[in-house]
Amino acid sequence: MSSNALIGSLIQGDRASLGPHLKSVFLPAKSVLFEAGDLVPAVYFPVSAIISLVVTLSTGELVEAAMVGRDGVVGASSALDGKVTLSRAIVQIEGDAFL
């Protein structure tokens, strides 16, 4: 479980509490995890996958706002009462993640 740096940085008790709720998933390249405006469907802790967060400008152009790898989390805004996503999440490099 500690192969995601964010999870690995938690104190042992918190990691132990979180562990039973996580499941390992494989994220294929080019998968869209969610679209802007969607309800947050899940929280992803990448292990070997890389996920891009992309926003659409008013001109219709797409801009990559962030890339998230094994040191981060995608969809965490749901914990901060942000249940609607502001960006599209696309798997750029396939790999494993905790869900």
CB-facing half-sphere around the CA of 7: CA atoms within 13 A: 24
Q: What is the pLDDT of residues 81-91, one digit of tens each?
A: 768 888 999 99
Exposed/middle/buried for 31, CB within 10 Å: 0-12, 13-18, 19+? Answer: middle
Q: What is the pLDDT of residues 39-61, one digit of tens each?
A: 988 999 999 999 999 999 999 99
pLDDT at 1 over 50: no
φ/ψ of 2, rounded to 5, equals -85, 10
Q: How high is the mean pLDDT of the chain? A: 93
pLDDT attached to residue 77: 80
The total of other beta-carbon atoms located within 10 Å of residue 94's CB is: 14
The total of other beta-carbon atoms located within 10 Å of residue 4's CB is: 23
Mean pLDDT score, 2-31:
94
DSSP 35-81: -TTSB----BEESS-EEEEEEE-TTS-EEEEEEE-TT--BSGGGGGT
| Three-class SS state of 30 | coil
Which domains are delineated in the chain?
Answer: 5-98 (2.60.120.10)
